Chain A
Amino acid sequence: MSHWQTICEVDALQANSGVCALVEGQQVAVFYMPKSQSVFALHNYDPFAKANVLSRGIIGDLKGEPIVASPVYKQHFNLKTGCCLEDETVKIPAYSVRIDQSHVQINLDYD
């Protein structure tokens, strides 16, 4: 069962960058690409650096898939799945996120 909650307004996001939101005690990195009106959400914790920094990484795409690069050691994570491109054994939680009117909403349930 899905559980959407509003975390902020769109204008709190940073265009073509990420921000970090605190949702139910979890740090969630939210990335926003205004051109395609797409939003992505991953857990903010970088398992390589062991630090909460992913929201500060550069975003873009590699081979057509949206990615964020860790600002610490530069590993790439798929924004849709949380899979690490450099190490397939590493996957960070990815969450469903959407823009409803001007509200940014997230669903922390994931499988």
Chain B
Amino acid sequence: MNTPKKTLVVIGNGMVGHHFLTSLVNSPIKETYHIVTFCEEPRAAYDRVHLSAFFSGQTADDLSLVEPGFFEQHGITLHIGDKAAQINREEQTVLSDKGVLIHYDTLVLATGSFPFVPPVPGHDRPECLVYRTIEDLEAIATVAQKSKVGVVVGGGLLGLEAAKALHDLGLKTHVVEFAPRLMAVQLDEAGGAMLRHKIEHLGVTVHTGKNTQLITDGEHCFNKMCFADGEELETDLILFSAGIRPRDDIARACGLEVGPRGGIVIDNQCKTSDANIYAIGECALWNGMIYGLVAPGYAMARTVVADLASQPASFTGADMSTKLKLMGVDVASIGDAHAKSQGALTYTYQNGDLEVYKRIVVSADKKQLLGAVLVGDASGYSTLLQYCLNGIELPEHPDTLILPSRSDESGGLGPDALPLSAQICSCYDVSKGDICQAIEAGCSTVGELKACTKAGSGCGGCAALVKSVLNSELTKQGVTVNTDLCEHFAYTRQDLFTLIKVEKITTFDDLIEKHGHGLGCDICKPTVASILASNWNDFVLKPDLAPLQDSNDAFLANIQKDGTYSVVPRIAGGEISPDMLITLGQVGKKYQLYTKITGGQRVDLFGARVEQLPLIWKDLIDAGFESGHAYGKSLRTVKSCVGSNWCRYGVDDSVGLAIELENRYKGLRSPHKIKFAVSGCTRECAEAQGKDVGIIATEHGWSLYVCGNGGMKPRHADLFATHLDKETLIKYIDRFLSFYIRTADRLQRTSVWMENMEGGLDYLKSVIIEDNLGLCEQLEEQMQHVVDTYQCEWKTTIEDESKLKRFKHFINSDQADDNIVFIEERGQLRPAETKDQKHFKLVEVA
């Protein structure tokens, strides 16, 4: 039965509001709702946590948290740049600034917070700014252009982040803090002092215990700040970062219960005083607390999704421990950092030389870790946090946890010490138990775990821990993690690639003599053949290379179940003239081949016996065709839509680019097959986002997507770079493919390669775009060599009498294999099976 859908309205598309939507669409209950969201800002959700990256060259697009097509794909109505203004709880409606009126069955408030600006006289002068939205950042950049000095009011977490931004913009930067130390909430006095010392060392002046009373005209700068102690500070730009206040005005106006100091009151299910309305994130007040971090907001979002699905779930507070890098200084705070608990003991380690400060707070019985402060070296954070959150009993001498280890003894907490309930991934709330369960169910790589549990697919901070849990569990199951390619080589594919490249090895015999043993097998031989081809690009049927080739490469055709082959000429970009199409038809007819259109926009001709292959190719090459490399672990096709030459909506010439790319990378041997597609506009008719390399035309240039896959395990490609001109696009693809060919495992598609890459997409970008490994020049050279040495393997073969010898079924007879029998079906031939013989007439093929 079809029940009419209810309407769910989400007010606010910030980080938490959007996390709610992504959690919701992954839950079956999304089917019961028509979902509408209001977003006051001119753009959908973006990453506010990494806002300062905007000043180091990232664009609003880079910071976006919205997967391309997310709203469309899930049928979510997005009112962008439109603020929800009023809630009518009796009528159950929301009215927006632009006059949109929507009835809701369920309402979720994710209105967030606004920066608190102390009401000192002069706080509204033109150079007084705040730090929360991309528009704020644009305003800061504009004012900074005419400024020399900048002050950040507030020495907390966000304030120091903002100070870094001003410092990066080239301003002489000051931090003014009301409290007697920096990060007063998280750090103790000595920790704060160490942090101050380090930050001042970087050129930022810190003023603590300063109470601003007036902002007025300056003498040398635009402004002057006057403090209660009589001191003054001249500055051009003033940035307030003195905490946040919940945005609860819309809730207040409709009579929802709010706290005495603001915040929409919620219960453990995140319900407000109205049962149809939830509140999540920084606007919500739970148990008298506002959570100004993103993780608790995410936890609230998930709680609401579970509650909507009638699953038991509750938000019961969140751990406020944090670890971050402030102006290059590692800072971390865990639990009761100030040792306020009854009878708490503290242990402190201070190293003035290396500027490291560590303190742990321990229960009176010395059994439990209550809190910790780390400045200058936060490497122990994960271990300490696990002790604290899981109540793991401390070692006999708790100070060993923070004392530098000068022996081989590792101070880390092994994965086995963690209870099953320990939270490993806080972004997606994945426990050690969840991971162990997934491993028992068959996951054996980090990539599979990510796909199965989502652990490590958020911020990625837990990737190392996920891996160590995996290795430990696999070892317990008696699985030894052996990365040797096969019994002949105690190396990974990546190792062999390096050996071959560095030692300029060109033959399998040479390689196995120097680095392996035995004769080789059907695992290592094709792998080495592929690496040799990627590096040196010699003809694959050269006498010493031919025996290494896998079934299809060995005969430059695709072997079928009956031992016949299929033939696929290249049709670059899927563009083919009528004459060429007629030729294909004629060849198909002449040799009685079964013909079928492939998914890659070309024609496959089936049923060729091995001795027919050179004859067929002679005809094809004479007509102007060349090998399509359908038989190789190599570039297959570059699929395209018809693009701007014909299409009413086309933005750029997708066919032209597809042909150029296919001709550039044709013949390139790689760990597995590679498929491309180019779409001429965002309608994406070429399905580029399901390909290893996908390109989509936009009005601002090409967008590049990587590591997508269709097939058995579909993976949506990741947006890698945007606004590209053709030259940059090709440069990135050269580097990307070369890097994949160097580092992937045997038969590993780009999608799985990406899933298993430590550091993921960001790491890949840093290698390919920022050249962090200093490899790009080599990667480009590697590709250029392959491009320059391309040959049509079939042309080379039919021109060389000695190569044709292998294309015979018998060495001592011209007879054909009598085991190959065809029958006719739908006007074409296909292999006969035993059961067919009763129903169909067998056909003799001459």
Are B518 and A64 in contact, with the CB atoms below 8 A? yes
Are A60 and B812 in contact, with the CB atoms below 8 A? no
The residue that A60 contacts in the complex, of B519, B561, B813, B815, with Cβ under 8 A, is: B519
Known: A62-B487, A71-B551. A53 touches B563 (CB 8 A): yes
Cα distance A51–B554 in the bound complex, in angstroms: 17
Residues from chain B with a CB closer than 8 A to the CB of A8 are 811-812
Cα distance A12–B811 in the bound complex, in angstroms: 7
Cα distance A63–B268 in the bound complex, in angstroms: 62
Cα distance A53–B565 in the bound complex, in angstroms: 11
Whole-angstrom distance from the CB of A23 to the nearest CB of chain B? 8
- B526-570: which have CB < 8 Å to A? 526, 543, 546-551, 554-555, 559, 561-563
Whole-angstrom distance from the CB of A31 to the nearest CB of chain B? 10
Whole-angstrom distance from the CB of B522 to the nearest CB of chain A? 4
Is B311 at the interface (CB under 8 A from chain A)? no
Chain A residue at minimum C-beta to C-beta distance from B831: A51
Known: A7-B812, A22-B810. A58 touches B563 (CB 8 A): no
The residue that B518 contacts in the complex, of A12, A61, A76, with Cβ under 8 A, is: A61
Interface string of B792-815 (1 = CB under 8 A from A): 000000000000011001111101
Interface string of A27-45 (1 = CB under 8 A from B): 1000001000000000001
Are A60 and B520 in contact, with the CB atoms below 8 A? yes
Whole-angstrom distance from the CB of B318 to the nearest CB of chain A? 52
Whole-angstrom distance from the CB of B255 to the nearest CB of chain A? 71
Is A80 at the interface (CB under 8 A from chain B)? no
Is B521 at the interface (CB under 8 A from chain A)? yes
Are B561 and A15 in contact, with the CB atoms below 8 A? no
Chain A residue at minimum C-beta to C-beta distance from B548: A58
Are B547 and A16 in contact, with the CB atoms below 8 A? yes
Whole-angstrom distance from the CB of B439 to the nearest CB of chain A? 27
Cα distance A58–B562 in the bound complex, in angstroms: 18
Is B124 at the interface (CB under 8 A from chain A)? no
Residues from chain B with a CB closer than 8 A to the CB of A33 are 519
Are A51 and B561 in contact, with the CB atoms below 8 A? yes
Is A17 at the interface (CB under 8 A from chain B)? yes
Residues from chain B with a CB closer than 8 A to the CB of A20 are 809-811
Residues from chain B with a CB closer than 8 A to the CB of A66 are 519
Cα distance A10–B582 in the bound complex, in angstroms: 44
Are B551 and A15 in contact, with the CB atoms below 8 A? no
Whole-angstrom distance from the CB of B801 to the nearest CB of chain A? 14
Residues from chain B with a CB closer than 8 A to the CB of A107 are none
Residues from chain A with a CB closer than 8 A to the CB of B548 are 58
Are B526 and A58 in contact, with the CB atoms below 8 A? yes
Chain B residue at minimum C-beta to C-beta distance from A67: B521
Interface string of A1-25 (1 = CB under 8 A from B): 0000001100011111101111000
Is A90 at the interface (CB under 8 A from chain B)? no
Are A58 and B521 in contact, with the CB atoms below 8 A? yes
Cα distance A83–B811 in the bound complex, in angstroms: 25
- A65-81: which have CB < 8 Å to B? 66-67, 69, 71-72, 74, 76
Is B351 at the interface (CB under 8 A from chain A)? no
Cα distance A98–B825 in the bound complex, in angstroms: 46
Are B522 and A19 in contact, with the CB atoms below 8 A? no
Cα distance A69–B551 in the bound complex, in angstroms: 10
Known: A17-B546, A51-B562. A69 touches B521 (CB 8 A): yes
Chain B residue at minimum C-beta to C-beta distance from A54: B563
Chain A residue at minimum C-beta to C-beta distance from B833: A50
Known: A19-B811, A66-B519, A72-B559. A56 touches B547 (CB 8 A): no
- B723-781: which have CB < 8 Å to A? none
Known: A12-B811, A51-B819. A74 touches B555 (CB 8 A): no
Is B817 at the interface (CB under 8 A from chain A)? yes
Is A96 at the interface (CB under 8 A from chain B)? no
Known: A20-B810, A53-B559, A72-B559. A59 touches B518 (CB 8 A): no
Whole-angstrom distance from the CB of A56 to the nearest CB of chain B? 6
Cα distance A75–B524 in the bound complex, in angstroms: 15
Whole-angstrom distance from the CB of B550 to the nearest CB of chain A? 7
Are B812 and A21 in contact, with the CB atoms below 8 A? yes
Chain B residue at minimum C-beta to C-beta distance from A32: B547
Cα distance A58–B549 in the bound complex, in angstroms: 8
Whole-angstrom distance from the CB of A25 to the nearest CB of chain B? 10
Q: Which residue among A16, A61, A76 has the maximum number of chain B CB atoms within 10 Å of its CB?
A: A16
- B678-726: which have CB < 8 Å to A? none
Whole-angstrom distance from the CB of A109 to the nearest CB of chain B? 19
Are B526 and A52 in contact, with the CB atoms below 8 A? no
Chain A residue at minimum C-beta to C-beta distance from B563: A51
Whole-angstrom distance from the CB of A111 to the nearest CB of chain B? 25
Cα distance A50–B551 in the bound complex, in angstroms: 16
Residues from chain A with a CB closer than 8 A to the CB of B675 are none
Are A58 and B522 in contact, with the CB atoms below 8 A? yes
Are A22 and B815 in contact, with the CB atoms below 8 A? yes
Are A61 and B521 in contact, with the CB atoms below 8 A? yes
Known: A14-B546, A15-B543, A49-B561. A61 touches B815 (CB 8 A): no
Chain A residue at minimum C-beta to C-beta distance from B525: A58
Known: A53-B563, A58-B526. A15 touches B547 (CB 8 A): yes
Residues from chain A with a CB closer than 8 A to the CB of B806 are 14, 17
Residues from chain B with a CB closer than 8 A to the CB of A82 are none
Cα distance A50–B521 in the bound complex, in angstroms: 23
Are A72 and B813 in contact, with the CB atoms below 8 A? no
Chain A residue at minimum C-beta to C-beta distance from B554: A56
Residues from chain B with a CB closer than 8 A to the CB of A14 are 546-547, 805-806
Cα distance A63–B518 in the bound complex, in angstroms: 9
Are B551 and A52 in contact, with the CB atoms below 8 A? no
Cα distance A67–B809 in the bound complex, in angstroms: 21
Are B547 and A17 in contact, with the CB atoms below 8 A? yes
Residues from chain B with a CB closer than 8 A to the CB of A61 are 518-521
Whole-angstrom distance from the CB of B452 to the nearest CB of chain A? 28
Residues from chain B with a CB closer than 8 A to the CB of A56 are 551, 554-555, 559, 610
Whole-angstrom distance from the CB of A83 to the nearest CB of chain B? 16
Are B811 and A58 in contact, with the CB atoms below 8 A? no
Chain B residue at minimum C-beta to C-beta distance from A53: B563
Residues from chain A with a CB closer than 8 A to the CB of B561 are 49, 51, 72
Residues from chain B with a CB closer than 8 A to the CB of A12 are 811-812
Residues from chain B with a CB closer than 8 A to the CB of A50 are 562
Residues from chain B with a CB closer than 8 A to the CB of A64 are 518
Whole-angstrom distance from the CB of B833 to the nearest CB of chain A? 9
Whole-angstrom distance from the CB of B652 to the nearest CB of chain A? 43
Cα distance A59–B521 in the bound complex, in angstroms: 6
Chain B residue at minimum C-beta to C-beta distance from A61: B519
Whole-angstrom distance from the CB of B730 to the nearest CB of chain A? 35
The residue that A52 contacts in the complex, of B525, B555, B563, with Cβ under 8 A, is: B563
Cα distance A48–B254 in the bound complex, in angstroms: 74
A-B contact pairs, 10 of them (CB 8 A): A14-B806, A19-B811, A22-B815, A33-B519, A52-B819, A58-B522, A58-B550, A59-B547, A60-B520, A66-B519
With A51-B820, A56-B554, A72-B563 already in contact, 11 other A-B pairs whose C-beta atoms are closer than 8 Å:
A13-B811, A16-B547, A33-B519, A51-B563, A52-B819, A53-B563, A57-B551, A58-B526, A63-B487, A74-B522, A76-B522
